[in-house]
Amino acid sequence: MNTAFKKELLFGLVVLALLAALPLLSPGRVTLDFVIRLAALGVFATSLNILVGYGGMVSFGHAMFFGGGAYTFGLLMQRTDVSIPVALLGAIVLCSLLACVIGMICVKLKEIYFSFLTLAFQMLIHSVIITWTSLTGGDQGLMGGIPRRPFWGGINVADPNTLYWFCVVIGVASLLIMRYVLQSPFGYTLRMVRDNADRARFLGIDVWRIRLYAFILAGAFAGIGGSLMALFVSGAYPEFSYWTMSGEAVFMIMMGGINVFLGPIIGAGLLNIFNDVITRTTEYHGLALGVIVLIFALGFKRGITDFVGELYNALTKKRVQS
């Protein structure tokens, strides 16, 4: 473990401690529910950025893993007696296998062909969820809620504060693991493939395999995000795997930033805030959100963290020269 990651790990533990203390500082449910949603969507958006920002592969169908994780977790909790950690592990395994099968086909293609093939697979998964009514509940989603059974000596996520702490711990741990992987030799190899695949092949790197590993990794962590959301809302719904969910993840990355690891998390927070405010203030939700996304796309021309980072570097360079 290098020194840089040790500092990031310490930062993550500090953030985790602050978030764990939040229920004591803000006993109201609004803030805590916001953080739980941020944990689920932040992991989801960051997993997509493994493909978009670090791999140069823009996926329009990443919601198939978010929805797949939610349904797998929910069905395991409803139809078996497994604990929450085991159901979460089951969702990770299924999403990894699904990503492996789909990725073996998709990563062979480049640019727009890759993007639309992922969208086609996502619509296929969504159609299966809609039509397999006996298993998934069809367009109504999983009926009857998701049991929140105690585990590990009495940890009871039926308690709102315990549910909050569980989701925060899983969210922060997932982000730290993704950060560690992206700072490993695999992460730098993935960047090399993104920047110049032909040179990577010349150096003996199996480009298809590296892209496939990234696809599987992104699918697994998207499944974790979906599981956290399913646990939070006590259900799984077809909207979790619909193309608009994939679009929201892309918006999070656009608003937050592609080149900064925390960018998608900030974007997820911004999108959550905008959705909450817009829903309360106007009935033209889609129009208002579209205008906001256009402001970010045309005004900043990049994510907010990318913009701030470039501005800081420019000011630093100017100060040094003067």
pLDDT digits (tens, 9 = 90+) for 24-82: 777 678 889 999 999 999 999 999 999 999 999 999 999 999 999 999 999 999 999 99
pLDDT at 202: 93
For residue range 131-143, list pLDDT tens digits in order: 999 999 999 999 8
**Terminal-to-terminal C-alpha distance of the chain:** 38
CB 100 within 8 A of CB 216: yes
Q: What is the largest CA-CA distance in the chain?
A: 70
Domain locations in the chain?
Answer: 3-7+31-247
Residues whose CB is less than 8 angstroms from the CB of residue 130 and which lie 6 or more positions away in sequence, other chains included: 136, 138, 139, 238
Residue 66 tokens read as: 């978010």
Task: Please check whether residue 123 is in contact with residue 61, taking contact to mean a CB–CB distance below 8 angstroms.
Answer: yes
Banded model confidence at residue 315, pLDDT cuts 50, 70, 90: confident
Residue 275's pLDDT is 86
pLDDT at 12 exceeding the cut of 80: no
Task: Look up residue 6 and give its two tokens.
Answer: 């040790």
Chain segment 177-213, per-residue pLDDT in tens: 999 999 999 999 999 999 999 999 999 999 999 999 9
Lowest mean pLDDT segment, chosen from 212-221, 272-281, 309-318 = 309-318
317 three-state secondary structure: helix
Q: What is the pLDDT of residue 2?
A: 65
What pLDDT, on a 0 to 100 scale, did the predictor assign at position 51?
Answer: 96
What's the CA gap between 73 and 85, in Å, rounded? 10
- pLDDT value of residue 5: 66
> In this structure, what is the dihedral angle of CA atoms 136, 96, 118, 171, given to the nearest 10 degrees?
80
What token pair was written down for 272?
């959550």
Question: What stretches of 80-206 show up as alpha helix (H) in DSSP?
Answer: 84-106, 111-131, 133-136, 160-182, 185-195, 197-202
What single letter denotes the amino acid at residue 70? A
pLDDT at 282: 80
Q: Which of 149, 146, 167 is nearest to 158 (CA)?
A: 149
The band of 21, judged by pLDDT with boundaries at 50, 70 and 90, is: confident
State the pTM of this model: 0.93
pLDDT at 252 over 80: yes
| Token pair listed for 131 | 């039509």
Cα 263 from Cα 258, distance rounded (Å) = 6
The answer, yes or no, to whether residue 4 has pLDDT greater than 70, is: no
CA 268 to CA 256: how far, in whole Å? 7
pLDDT at res. 283: 81
* Percentage of residues of the chain with pLDDT beyond 70: 96
Neighbours of 298 (CB within 10 A): 8
* Residues constituting the chain: 322
